[in-house]
Amino acid sequence: MAHSTSASEPTGPRRLSVLLYSDDITTRDAVRAGVGRRPSADLQIDSWRECATAAAVIEAVENDAFDLLVLDGEAAPVGGLGLCRQLKNEIFNCPPVLVLTGRPQDVWLASWSLADAAVPAPLDPVALCAGIGQALSAAPAPAAR
């Protein structure tokens, strides 16, 4: 007798497409290395889209589908916190956002930015992975694409 997969059986990890914004390539490298391909047992990063400018982020989010945005709050000249607030206010069904803050005391700025989660510097792989999970669980369910 053939075994059929029911809706209640696990189908593997949730596959993610992630946009990563920072003007600093070392920050982008640290995030990708810290997160790896599997930030948790139930999540898998299938693709990274790296952006070094706010204009590139806006163009990408308007034209492509992402499951998560990771924005560097310390980026210049446009910081990820202000960019997050702009995206949350201007993009219909904006994906969940994880912001990287300069220090733990900047949590209030992350709240102001409407981010779904925040991770302070220095970037810690465990905190990054936890932040991804928090951002995905805090955000409203994604609309069908």
Q: What pLDDT, in 10s, does the model give residues 113-123?
A: 999 999 999 99
Confidence band, pLDDT 50/70/90 cuts, at residue 144: very low
Give the mean model confidence (pLDDT) for residues 39-46.
96
Q: Whole-angstrom Cα distance, residue 15 to residue 41? A: 11
Helices (H), 2-106: 25-35, 54-63, 80-90
Q: Which domain holds residue 42?
A: 14-138
**Whole-structure pTM over 0.85, yes or no?**
yes
When pLDDT is averaged across residues 2-14 and rounded to a whole number, the result is 64
Look at residue 103 and tell me if it is in a domain.
Answer: yes
Place of tokens 């949350």: 88
Residues in the chain: 145
Work out the average pLDDT over 84-107. Answer: 95
In a domain, 24, yes or no: yes
CATH number at residue 86: 3.40.50.2300
